[in-house]
Structure formats: C-alpha cells, structure tokens
Amino acid sequence: MIGNWIRTSLCALVISSGAAWAGENEEYIVVQSTTSTQNSGLLDAILPAFETQSGIDVRVVAVGTGQAIRNAQNGDGDVLLVHAKPAEEKFVADGWGVQRFDVMYNDFVLVGPGDDPAGIKGGQDIVAALSRLSQAQVPFASRGDDSGTHKAELRHWATAGVDVAEASGGWYRETGSGMGATLNVAAGMRAYALTDRATWISFGNKGDLQVLVEGDPRLFNQYGVILVSPEKHPGVKATQGQAFIDWLISDEGQAAIASYRRDGQQLFFPNAR
C-alpha cells in the first residue's frame, strides 16, 4: 500500500515536471550579463515590457564580465550585456560577436569605513586616493574575479603606479567573488572597495561603509551590448537576440532604463545615441 503510494506520487511528480518543461518551449534568449545589472534590479524592472510585446522570454545569467564573455565564447548565450569596453571590442574583433552597441553608463565609486583611516574622504581624484590607500596600507577589498569592475580597478591601480600583486594577501584582499559578496567582505573587515554605483545603492548591508570618492571622469562605467556571432555558434538565436538589442537601444528601451530608480536615485544613464 505504501509502495503504491510512493509509486503514484513519483508518477505524479514526473508527469507534473514533464508538463512544466513542456510549457517552457516558448521562445527565449539567454543573456550573459553582469551581477551589477541583476543585483541592482534593473533587468527585473525593464525586461517585462520587452517580453510582453515581443513574446520572447529573456533569461539572464548574471556572472562577472570575464566569465560572461567566456560563456558567450562557448556559445552559451545569445546576447552579451557587460561593462568592460576593451574586452568587448576584442570580443567583436576576434569574431565572437557581431557588433557592439553602447547601452548606458553609470559610475564607479570608492567606498570605505566612515572614520576613513586613510583620510581620502571628499576627494575626486581616484588615482590620488588609491595612492593614499597604498601608502596607508589600509585594507582594500578587490573583486579579484576578472569582472568589469575588477578590470577598471586594476587600470586605476596601474595609473597610480601601485603594484597590487605585491600587496595581495596583505592589505590588498582579493575576494574572487561578485560585487555584493565583496561589499559584504568590505563591510565585515572595514575595508575600502571600488564598486559600481548601481550595486552600491541597492546594496542592503552597507554597515559602516560610505561613499568616499566619486565624480572622477575616469570612474565612468560604460555598458555595451553585443549579439553573439551566429557564424561561430549556429545555435545562437540571432533574430530574437537582435530584437532584444534593438529594443534596448531604442527610445523605448532607453526610457525604461532612465526611469528605473532605487531610493529615488537613478542608477543607470542611457547613452545609446
């Protein structure tokens, strides 16, 4: 009797899951994107409008920019939406992507503990601030994951002439994790960190951290969108993917990006045209 019950329930389970999967045969594309677009809530906010009018389901895989690009090179995505312009241009130049479009920007900010032991608060010059940090040898939490933010941070360290590889494990801590996880680490050990503003504003565990340096033009953070090359990967849904890109850079898509706000603040600034 028990055996029958188990059998019946397992059958029900298998059938119901089969039905669930059958329902997933609708049109969809996979977008390889970054944690900042997901963690900030932007994509959850703007995608439904596109999905409703196009009938295309957008499935977002949010990882670091570096991993997103590699996944796209493996053909495991139709569209790439990331923020590391040099790497994106290389992606297109190497033939993995069709064409790159600017979508939007936000900016990076340097955050750190409120008592600011390195004394960089209120500055605008990111390079000068990083130099101070390296002199003061105060803890700094880096993404260390080859993401867009990580790449940007390394560029600024290089400009400041600081060899962070030397300090790795000392005051320079590489978390190897996403932006949110890195901010959790920074909050936990009262470290400084470079973060994109969108993630920062929507981050819920700021603790003692606050924005110390912002407004440097070099902290500009450009997002680009690229259709993965259907020539490299015949499985790419080029038509649907291009439809998504077209919408994203259309007036409607750009307006949707501009209207997304957290705590009254605009997180991303459209600049497709």
Partner 1 sequence: MQDFAQEFMTALSLILSGDSELLNIVFLSLKVSLLAVFFGALVGMPLGAALAVGRFPGRRALIVLVNALMGLPPVVVGLCVYLMLSRSGPLGVLQLLYTPTAMIIAQFVLVTPIIAALTRQTVESLDAEYTEQLRSLGLSRLASVPVLLWDGRIALLTAFLAGFGRAIAEVGAVIIVGGNINHVTRVMTTTIALETSKGNLSLALALGVILIAIAIAVNAAVSLLARGAAPQRGELSHA
- Burial class of residue 26 in the structure, from the number of CB atoms within 10 Å of its CB (0-12 exposed, 13-18 middle, 19+ buried): exposed
CA 96 to CA 85: how far, in whole Å? 15
Q: Is the dihedral of CA 131, 133, 139, 144 positive or negative?
A: negative
Nearer to partner 1, 148 or 180 (CB): 180
Nearer to partner 1, 175 or 242 (CB): 175
Site string for partner 1, 104-143 (x = CB under 8 A): ----------------------------------------
Smallest distance from partner 1 to CB 62, Å = 7
Inter-CA distances, 71 with 31, 38, 91, 267, Å: 10, 17, 12, 26
Nearer to partner 1, 136 or 181 (CB): 181
Site string for partner 1, 155-194 (x = CB under 8 A): ----------------------xxxxx-xx--x-------
CA 233 to CA 178: how far, in whole Å? 28
DSSP letter at 266 equals: E
Smallest distance from partner 1 to CB 13, Å = 6
Residue for token pair 């494990």:
169
> 217-256: which residues touch partner 1 (CB under 8 A)?
233, 235
Smallest distance from partner 1 to CB 229, Å = 12
DSSP string, 59-101: EEEEE-HHHHHHHHHTT--SEEEES-HHHHHHHHHTTSEEEEE
Binding site for partner 1 (CB under 8 A): 2-3, 5-6, 10, 13-14, 16-17, 20-21, 24, 30, 35, 38-39, 44, 57, 59-62, 71, 73-76, 177-181, 183-184, 187, 202-206, 233, 235
